[in-house]
Amino acid sequence: MFLLRFFTAIFIFLIILTACSNEQESNPVLTVYKGTIKGSVYDATTNSPIYYAKISTQPPTKETYTGADGEFILSDIMAGDYIVDAHRDGYDNDTTFVAIHHKDTVNINFILQDFSVYLDYYPLDIGNYWEYWSGNSPNFSAEVISDTMISGKIYRVIEDKNLSSQSIEYKYERVDTYNAMVYRYFPSEEKEMLIDSLPAKAGQTFTNSMLMDWEGISYCQSIETEEIFGEARSVRTLSYLGHHLPLYKIVKGIGLYSFGFVLDENILKYAIIKGVEFGGNK
């Protein structure tokens, strides 16, 4: 009887062991396919490495930051297709597409443009002066005469003068050097509004109030090189979306160059920028 019970117990144990073994074989561990993204981030102007640029992906995986050498690495990224973005405060973003395969390492480099290169499109130094003509006659002038504090922000005071009636209007503008945006304070509205996004690329739109006291949608038509005051200069051509709305041009190193309707355009004929005269003797 003892031997019968002993062998019965062994038989039952073997059955249980076999069942467990079969269960493990029926649930194998799935293979996880992963890869690595690595690269560097550089300054477009100086070609020097950019420290602490944020690297992220879409769809989201991981985030990391570049070291002092401008390099980064994202390891153990699930295989798939991603848009990788590089961002640093005060710079343009840069993005690229990558396809991650199992055990592969994808190398990418990013070039970021410092926003400071855009600031020359809208110089607001005290003493700067612009004179605009319509046809063969001077129409009005604008001069930066001082600065003032409004709601904790420093604005340049610009004296706009109608050269026919000699009437004067004052505008209050500032350039945010952090993001290269230009703002104007409207006393009648008691608020600040965007009048230009200097880093806007050709084909991009943004809300602004450059030529009016209400916000419209401005469209950056092109960024090209034209000869202005005897020198090849970068020119941004913009317009308001809609019918019969004005267009205007912003010239690097000069500022607002022309504006108005196609048949009634005001063009800059004379300027003083940072003490340098453009357009001959006044």
Predicted local confidence at residue 28, as pLDDT: 52
Predicted local confidence at residue 26, as pLDDT: 47
Do 251 and 182 belong to one domain?
yes
Predicted local confidence at residue 2, as pLDDT: 47
CATH code, 241: 2.40.360
Which residues have C-beta within 8 Å of that of residue 173, sequence separation ≥ 6? 124, 155, 156, 158, 182, 183, 184, 185, 195
Predicted local confidence at residue 18, as pLDDT: 53
Predicted local confidence at residue 49, as pLDDT: 97
Judge whether 11 lies within some domain. no
Where in the sequence is the domain holding 125, given as residue range(s)?
Answer: 117-278
CATH code, 94: 2.60.40.1120
Q: What is the pTM of this model?
A: 0.76
Judge whether 145 lies within some domain. yes
Do 103 and 51 belong to one domain?
yes
Predicted local confidence at residue 278, as pLDDT: 96
Predicted local confidence at residue 24, as pLDDT: 46
- Residue ranges, the chain, pLDDT below 50: 2-4, 6-7, 21-26, 282
Strand partners, 225: 234
